[in-house]
Amino acid sequence: MKIDNTIAAVVTGGASGLGRASAEALAAAGVRVAIFDVNEAGGQAVAEAIGGVFCKVDITSEEGVVEGYAKARAAHGQERIVVHCAVVSGGGKTISFDKETGVYKRNPTEMIARSAEGIFTASYRIASHGALGMANSDPLNDDGERGVIILTSSAASQDGQIGQVAYGGGKGAVNSMVLPMARDLMDLGIRVNAIVPGIFATPPMLAVKDRAPAIFAGLAASVPFPKRLGHPPEFGSLVLELARNGYFNGQCIRLDGAIRMPPR
Protein backbone atom coordinates (compact mmCIF):
# COMPACT_ATOMS: atom_id res chain seq x y z
CA MET A 1 0.00 0.00 0.00
CA LYS A 2 1.30 3.44 -0.87
CA ILE A 3 1.41 5.43 2.36
CA ASP A 4 0.73 9.13 1.91
CA ASN A 5 -1.87 11.81 2.60
CA THR A 6 -4.47 10.07 0.45
CA ILE A 7 -4.74 7.32 3.07
CA ALA A 8 -6.84 7.48 6.24
CA ALA A 9 -6.38 5.36 9.36
CA VAL A 10 -8.18 4.55 12.59
CA VAL A 11 -6.09 3.77 15.67
CA THR A 12 -7.75 2.54 18.84
CA GLY A 13 -6.08 3.26 22.16
CA GLY A 14 -4.31 6.16 20.50
CA ALA A 15 -4.19 8.37 23.58
CA SER A 16 -1.12 6.61 24.98
CA GLY A 17 1.37 3.76 24.71
CA LEU A 18 1.44 1.56 21.63
CA GLY A 19 -1.63 3.20 20.12
CA ARG A 20 -0.14 6.65 20.41
CA ALA A 21 3.13 5.46 18.87
CA SER A 22 1.18 3.91 15.99
CA ALA A 23 -0.81 7.09 15.40
CA GLU A 24 2.35 9.20 15.45
CA ALA A 25 4.19 6.91 13.02
CA LEU A 26 1.31 6.91 10.55
CA ALA A 27 0.80 10.66 10.79
CA ALA A 28 4.52 11.28 10.25
CA ALA A 29 4.19 9.33 6.98
CA GLY A 30 1.35 11.62 5.90
CA VAL A 31 -1.64 9.46 6.86
CA ARG A 32 -4.80 11.14 8.14
CA VAL A 33 -5.35 9.55 11.55
CA ALA A 34 -8.46 9.23 13.69
CA ILE A 35 -7.91 8.22 17.31
CA PHE A 36 -10.45 6.09 19.18
CA ASP A 37 -10.09 6.21 22.97
CA VAL A 38 -12.08 6.69 26.17
CA ASN A 39 -9.41 9.10 27.45
CA GLU A 40 -10.83 12.31 26.07
CA ALA A 41 -8.11 14.69 27.31
CA GLY A 42 -5.22 12.46 26.25
CA GLY A 43 -6.77 11.44 22.95
CA GLN A 44 -7.63 15.02 22.00
CA ALA A 45 -4.11 16.17 22.82
CA VAL A 46 -2.52 13.49 20.63
CA ALA A 47 -4.97 14.16 17.80
CA GLU A 48 -4.17 17.87 17.87
CA ALA A 49 -0.43 17.18 17.94
CA ILE A 50 -0.55 14.97 14.83
CA GLY A 51 -3.22 16.92 12.94
CA GLY A 52 -5.78 14.15 13.35
CA VAL A 53 -9.26 13.80 14.77
CA PHE A 54 -10.31 12.37 18.13
CA CYS A 55 -13.35 10.14 18.55
CA LYS A 56 -14.39 9.19 22.08
CA VAL A 57 -15.05 5.46 21.70
CA ASP A 58 -15.59 2.63 24.15
CA ILE A 59 -14.48 -0.50 22.29
CA THR A 60 -16.99 -2.61 24.25
CA SER A 61 -19.90 -0.55 22.87
CA GLU A 62 -21.28 -1.51 19.45
CA GLU A 63 -23.08 1.80 19.12
CA GLY A 64 -20.03 3.74 20.23
CA VAL A 65 -17.78 2.04 17.70
CA VAL A 66 -20.24 2.64 14.85
CA GLU A 67 -20.49 6.30 15.81
CA GLY A 68 -16.71 6.57 16.02
CA TYR A 69 -16.24 5.19 12.53
CA ALA A 70 -18.89 7.57 11.21
CA LYS A 71 -17.12 10.58 12.74
CA ALA A 72 -13.71 9.45 11.47
CA ARG A 73 -15.02 8.88 7.94
CA ALA A 74 -16.79 12.23 7.89
CA ALA A 75 -13.47 13.91 8.69
CA HIS A 76 -11.03 11.84 6.63
CA GLY A 77 -12.96 9.56 4.29
CA GLN A 78 -12.85 5.76 4.33
CA GLU A 79 -10.02 4.43 6.47
CA ARG A 80 -7.70 1.98 4.70
CA ILE A 81 -5.66 1.16 7.83
CA VAL A 82 -7.13 0.00 11.13
CA VAL A 83 -4.77 -0.44 14.07
CA HIS A 84 -6.39 -1.88 17.17
CA CYS A 85 -4.39 -1.34 20.39
CA ALA A 86 -7.11 -0.64 22.97
CA VAL A 87 -7.93 -3.38 25.49
CA VAL A 88 -10.25 -4.05 28.40
CA SER A 89 -9.22 -7.00 30.57
CA GLY A 90 -9.74 -8.75 33.87
CA GLY A 91 -7.13 -10.65 35.85
CA GLY A 92 -6.50 -12.95 38.77
CA LYS A 93 -5.46 -16.53 39.42
CA THR A 94 -7.91 -19.33 38.70
CA ILE A 95 -7.80 -20.36 42.36
CA SER A 96 -6.26 -18.18 45.07
CA PHE A 97 -6.12 -18.17 48.86
CA ASP A 98 -8.39 -15.71 50.63
CA LYS A 99 -6.61 -14.55 53.79
CA GLU A 100 -9.81 -13.10 55.23
CA THR A 101 -11.81 -16.32 55.08
CA GLY A 102 -8.93 -18.76 55.35
CA VAL A 103 -10.10 -20.81 52.38
CA TYR A 104 -9.41 -20.90 48.67
CA LYS A 105 -11.58 -18.89 46.29
CA ARG A 106 -12.26 -19.08 42.59
CA ASN A 107 -11.75 -16.25 40.13
CA PRO A 108 -15.31 -15.51 39.00
CA THR A 109 -16.46 -16.34 35.49
CA GLU A 110 -17.46 -12.70 35.07
CA MET A 111 -13.78 -11.74 35.13
CA ILE A 112 -13.08 -14.07 32.22
CA ALA A 113 -16.16 -12.80 30.38
CA ARG A 114 -14.92 -9.22 30.82
CA SER A 115 -11.67 -10.12 29.06
CA ALA A 116 -13.47 -12.07 26.34
CA GLU A 117 -15.56 -8.98 25.63
CA GLY A 118 -12.75 -6.45 25.98
CA ILE A 119 -10.14 -8.39 23.98
CA PHE A 120 -11.56 -10.94 21.55
CA THR A 121 -15.03 -9.54 20.90
CA ALA A 122 -13.77 -5.95 20.79
CA SER A 123 -11.05 -6.95 18.31
CA TYR A 124 -13.67 -8.53 16.06
CA ARG A 125 -15.92 -5.49 16.44
CA ILE A 126 -13.23 -3.00 15.46
CA ALA A 127 -11.87 -5.18 12.64
CA SER A 128 -15.18 -6.14 11.09
CA HIS A 129 -16.62 -2.63 11.03
CA GLY A 130 -13.41 -1.39 9.42
CA ALA A 131 -13.46 -4.25 6.91
CA LEU A 132 -17.07 -3.51 5.94
CA GLY A 133 -16.17 0.05 5.01
CA MET A 134 -13.10 -1.08 3.07
CA ALA A 135 -15.08 -3.77 1.22
CA ASN A 136 -17.46 -1.16 -0.14
CA SER A 137 -14.61 1.04 -1.40
CA ASP A 138 -12.57 0.92 -4.59
CA PRO A 139 -9.25 -0.97 -4.70
CA LEU A 140 -6.11 1.08 -4.08
CA ASN A 141 -3.70 -0.66 -6.45
CA ASP A 142 -3.25 -3.31 -9.14
CA ASP A 143 -3.26 -6.08 -6.51
CA GLY A 144 -6.82 -5.13 -5.66
CA GLU A 145 -5.87 -4.13 -2.12
CA ARG A 146 -8.56 -2.27 -0.23
CA GLY A 147 -6.98 -2.01 3.20
CA VAL A 148 -5.19 -3.61 6.13
CA ILE A 149 -6.22 -4.47 9.69
CA ILE A 150 -3.51 -4.71 12.36
CA LEU A 151 -4.54 -6.21 15.69
CA THR A 152 -2.51 -6.19 18.90
CA SER A 153 -1.89 -9.44 20.69
CA SER A 154 0.67 -10.08 23.46
CA ALA A 155 3.52 -12.41 24.34
CA ALA A 156 1.13 -13.50 27.12
CA SER A 157 -0.88 -15.27 24.42
CA GLN A 158 1.94 -17.81 24.21
CA ASP A 159 3.94 -17.26 27.43
CA GLY A 160 1.11 -16.39 29.82
CA GLN A 161 2.11 -15.79 33.43
CA ILE A 162 0.43 -16.65 36.73
CA GLY A 163 -2.79 -14.66 36.96
CA GLN A 164 -3.07 -14.14 33.19
CA VAL A 165 -5.71 -16.74 32.30
CA ALA A 166 -8.14 -13.99 31.31
CA TYR A 167 -5.64 -11.77 29.51
CA GLY A 168 -3.53 -14.51 27.94
CA GLY A 169 -6.63 -16.43 26.87
CA GLY A 170 -8.12 -13.33 25.27
CA LYS A 171 -4.94 -12.50 23.39
CA GLY A 172 -4.59 -16.13 22.31
CA ALA A 173 -8.06 -15.84 20.81
CA VAL A 174 -6.89 -12.79 18.86
CA ASN A 175 -4.01 -14.83 17.41
CA SER A 176 -6.43 -17.57 16.40
CA MET A 177 -8.70 -15.04 14.68
CA VAL A 178 -6.04 -13.58 12.38
CA LEU A 179 -5.67 -16.33 9.77
CA PRO A 180 -9.37 -17.20 9.34
CA MET A 181 -10.26 -13.52 9.11
CA ALA A 182 -7.50 -12.99 6.53
CA ARG A 183 -9.02 -15.84 4.54
CA ASP A 184 -12.52 -14.44 4.97
CA LEU A 185 -11.36 -11.13 3.51
CA MET A 186 -8.87 -12.32 0.87
CA ASP A 187 -11.29 -11.96 -2.05
CA LEU A 188 -11.94 -8.38 -0.95
CA GLY A 189 -8.27 -7.41 -0.90
CA ILE A 190 -8.17 -6.76 2.84
CA ARG A 191 -5.16 -8.00 4.80
CA VAL A 192 -5.21 -8.98 8.49
CA ASN A 193 -2.18 -9.29 10.76
CA ALA A 194 -1.38 -9.07 14.46
CA ILE A 195 1.66 -7.78 16.32
CA VAL A 196 2.57 -9.84 19.38
CA PRO A 197 4.56 -7.44 21.60
CA GLY A 198 6.70 -8.46 24.54
CA ILE A 199 7.44 -6.07 27.41
CA PHE A 200 7.12 -2.46 26.26
CA ALA A 201 7.64 0.81 28.08
CA THR A 202 3.95 1.73 28.14
CA PRO A 203 2.33 3.72 30.98
CA PRO A 204 1.34 0.59 32.99
CA MET A 205 4.89 -0.77 32.82
CA LEU A 206 6.44 2.59 33.67
CA ALA A 207 4.20 2.67 36.74
CA VAL A 208 5.88 -0.58 37.83
CA LYS A 209 9.23 1.20 37.53
CA ASP A 210 8.03 3.81 40.02
CA ARG A 211 6.46 1.31 42.46
CA ALA A 212 8.98 -1.51 42.24
CA PRO A 213 12.22 -0.50 40.50
CA ALA A 214 13.90 -3.85 41.24
CA ILE A 215 11.10 -5.77 39.51
CA PHE A 216 11.23 -3.38 36.58
CA ALA A 217 14.99 -3.83 36.25
CA GLY A 218 14.54 -7.60 36.35
CA LEU A 219 12.01 -7.47 33.54
CA ALA A 220 14.39 -5.45 31.37
CA ALA A 221 17.26 -7.82 32.15
CA SER A 222 15.14 -10.82 31.14
CA VAL A 223 15.04 -9.68 27.51
CA PRO A 224 17.80 -11.48 25.55
CA PHE A 225 18.67 -8.53 23.33
CA PRO A 226 18.48 -5.65 23.58
CA LYS A 227 18.30 -5.84 27.39
CA ARG A 228 15.58 -3.27 27.85
CA LEU A 229 11.88 -2.82 27.42
CA GLY A 230 10.63 -2.12 23.94
CA HIS A 231 10.18 1.49 22.92
CA PRO A 232 6.63 2.25 21.69
CA PRO A 233 8.00 3.88 18.49
CA GLU A 234 9.48 0.47 17.59
CA PHE A 235 5.93 -0.88 17.64
CA GLY A 236 4.79 2.09 15.54
CA SER A 237 7.48 1.46 12.94
CA LEU A 238 6.30 -2.15 12.54
CA VAL A 239 2.72 -0.93 12.12
CA LEU A 240 3.91 1.30 9.30
CA GLU A 241 5.80 -1.55 7.62
CA LEU A 242 2.82 -3.91 7.87
CA ALA A 243 0.69 -1.26 6.19
CA ARG A 244 3.26 -0.64 3.44
CA ASN A 245 4.20 -4.22 2.63
CA GLY A 246 1.31 -5.80 0.77
CA TYR A 247 2.66 -9.34 1.17
CA PHE A 248 2.26 -9.41 4.94
CA ASN A 249 -1.04 -11.22 5.47
CA GLY A 250 -2.42 -13.69 8.00
CA GLN A 251 0.61 -13.26 10.28
CA CYS A 252 1.08 -12.97 14.05
CA ILE A 253 4.49 -11.34 14.42
CA ARG A 254 6.35 -11.30 17.74
CA LEU A 255 8.13 -8.06 18.61
CA ASP A 256 9.87 -8.92 21.86
CA GLY A 257 13.69 -8.91 21.78
CA ALA A 258 13.57 -12.75 21.64
CA ILE A 259 12.06 -13.02 25.12
CA ARG A 260 10.36 -16.28 26.09
CA MET A 261 8.98 -15.84 29.57
CA PRO A 262 9.14 -18.69 32.13
CA PRO A 263 6.50 -18.78 34.90
CA ARG A 264 6.96 -16.10 37.52
| Cα radius of gyration rounded to whole Å, the chain | 19
Cα separation, 56 vs 60, whole angstroms: 12
Active-site annotation holder among 104, 124, 167, 247: 167
Cα separation, 102 vs 120, whole angstroms: 35
Q: Is the peptide bond before 226 cis (omega within 30 degrees of 0)?
A: yes
Contact by Cβ (8 Å): 111, 118? no
For the chain, the first-to-last Cα distance in angstroms comes to 41
**Pick from 237, 16, 43: nearest CA to 253:** 237
Instruction: State yes or no: is 124 an active-site residue.
Output: no
Residues with catalytic function: 167
